[in-house]
């Protein structure tokens, strides 16, 4: 069973043209974000662009972060992904959600008005205090082993 929390979304920017994001199934972890544009937007090959969603978020639970992630089909089929890997929307951010998209393909990609461009997922946050020390123990199964030290299989 999923724990239900709330984030307030203002869709005045949408008008009545786009539906609010929703979970496609009971097992969905994320909601689709759509391009809130009146005209198609060309994302040139190798380029980046900022695409507005028309959704403003406000007063999110302070124990949450909203994560903007790529849509797998858009990445696989067209090379279009969230530019910075993931987007982080802090609980105290109050404003429109926009998505930085990158085109890794050799072809321009046309983003259509209302097209599903990314996913929005909410995750719990743990804030950690960092403490400077002179040294730390490497007495673990891994020891000081780094990249690839645990083997391939």
d(CA 72, CA 79): 10
Residue 86: which of 64, 102, 73, 108 has the closest Cα?
102
- CB-based burial of residue 92 (10 Å sphere; 0-12 exposed, 13-18 middle, 19+ buried)? exposed
Q: Strand (E) positions, 11-115?
A: 31-34, 41-43, 48-58, 64-69, 80-82, 87-89, 95-103, 109-111
H runs (alpha helix) in the chain: 72-78
d(CA 14, CA 10): 9
State pTM to two decimals.
0.81
- 8-10 sheet: strands from edge to edge: 8-10, 48-58, 95-103, 80-82
**Which residues define the annotated binding site?**
71-73, 84, 88-90
**SS3 call for 83:** coil
**Which residues define the annotated binding site for substrate?**
71-73, 84, 88-90
| pLDDT score for 4 | 60
Domains of the chain: 6-124 (2.70.40.10)
Residues (pLDDT < 50) of the chain are 1
| pLDDT score for 39 | 93
| pLDDT score for 1 | 45
Contact 80, 35 (CB under 8 A): no
CB atoms near residue 35 (< 10 Å):
21
């Amino acid at each position: 069973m999923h724990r239900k929390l709330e984030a307030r979304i203002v869709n005045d920017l949408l008008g009545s043209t786009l539906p609010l994001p929703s979970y496609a199934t009971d097992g969905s972890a994320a909601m689709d974000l759509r391009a809130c544009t009146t005209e198609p937007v060309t994302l040139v090959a190798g380029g980046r662009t900022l695409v507005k969603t028309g959704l403003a978020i406000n007063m999110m639970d302070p124990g949450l972060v909203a994560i903007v992630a790529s849509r797998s089909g858009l990445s696989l089929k067209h090379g279009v992904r969230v530019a910075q890997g993931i987007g982080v929307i802090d609980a105290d951010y109050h404003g429109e959600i926009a998505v930085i998209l990158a085109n890794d393909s050799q072809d321009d990609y046309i983003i259509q008005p209302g097209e599903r461009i990314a996913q929005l997922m909410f995750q719990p946050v743990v804030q950690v205090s960092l403490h400077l020390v002179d040294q730390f123990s490497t007495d673990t199964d891994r020891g000081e082993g780094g990249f690839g030290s645990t083997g391939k299989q």
